[in-house]
Amino acid sequence: MDIATIIGVVVGSAVVIGLMGHNIGLFYSTHAMIVVFGGLLGSTFVKFGMEDIKASGKMLKKAFVSSHDDVKELIRQMVDISNIARKNGLLALEKVKVENEFLQAALQHCSDGVDPKLMKEVLTKEIEYMAERHHVGIVMWESMGEAAPAFGMVGTLVGMVEMLSNMSDPSKIGGAMATALLATMYGAIVANAFTIPLAIKLHHYSREEQMRCQLIVDGVIGIQTGLNTRMLEQVLKTGLSRYKRDD
């Protein structure tokens, strides 16, 4: 479970609800919600295909359920695998089983005797395709963050038109004005408290996953070419910040 995301969502929601106080019913408008959320949903389906939308939902899960490998633990794992290869040969890697699917595939290539240059090209291409798939999901959430305030403004304009068309009936002016203001508020909350922060977190996680995959590529290539285990560890540690290397 990604505690940071949970804390952010809970704190953000608590702040908004807390500011509303005991008059939370005043901040509900069916018309405003239809304009903002309906418009947001419609624009998303226009911009992206069904497969992309389904994939983005699965990707969103990563922002709440953290299942990422620790980089330091991954380096230690690569060092252990290097020791196995140096002691028993590359064919022994065929019996090594790991949870990381990318690492497992790389070890299989290594034990099959695939040329290091070709293996690096294949694995690098896989990283590029993975990054492209992530990019589509990230762009989707970014676009929702851009569209939410825009539809909030549309709701505001609708409310203003309704208010101006009923100037002769003062009893209807207040409701129309409330719809106009609440639509803007809904759009701002959705964009700044949820969609944009989630897009940023997903982008961060995507970069982390690409870095881990690149670390695996460098590690497996080093193992296959017979790089000294101590030197391999030093090479892989270049992906860590200074304080993590010393830890």
Count Cβ neighbours within 10 Å for each residue of 128-164 and write b for 16 or more, e otherwise. Answer: eeeeeebebbbbbbbbbbebbbebbbbbbebbeebbe
Beta-carbon contacts of 126 under 8 Å, excluding residues fewer than 6 positions away, are 102, 213
Q: Which residue has the higher pLDDT, 245 or 203?
A: 203
Alpha carbon 177 to chain centroid distance?
A: 37
Whether pLDDT at 69 is above 70:
no
Q: What is the pTM of this model?
A: 0.82
**DSSP letter string, 12-77:** HHHHHHHHHTT-GGGG--HHHHIIIIIHHHHHHHHHS-HHHHHHHHHHHHHHHS--PPPHHHHHHH
Tell me how many domains the chain contains. 1
Number of helices and strands (H, E) in the chain? 11, 0
pLDDT at 13: 86
161: tokens are 């038109």
Q: Give the pLDDT band of residue 238 (cuts 50, 70, 90).
A: confident
Q: Give the pLDDT band of residue 185 (cuts 50, 70, 90).
A: very high
Average pLDDT rounded to a whole number, residues 146-151: 94
Beta-carbon contacts of 184 under 8 Å, excluding residues fewer than 6 positions away, are 149, 152, 153, 155, 156
DSSP code for 99: S
Domain, as residue range, for 52:
3-246
Q: What percent of the chain has pLDDT over 90?
A: 44
Average pLDDT rounded to a whole number, residues 205-227: 91
Average pLDDT rounded to a whole number, residues 210-226: 92
pLDDT at 22: 74
pLDDT at 1: 64
pLDDT at 103: 93
What is the tens place of the pLDDT at every residue in 1-50? 678 888 888 888 888 888 787 778 888 888 889 999 999 999 999 999 88
CA distance 56 to 78: 31
CA distance 121 to 141: 31
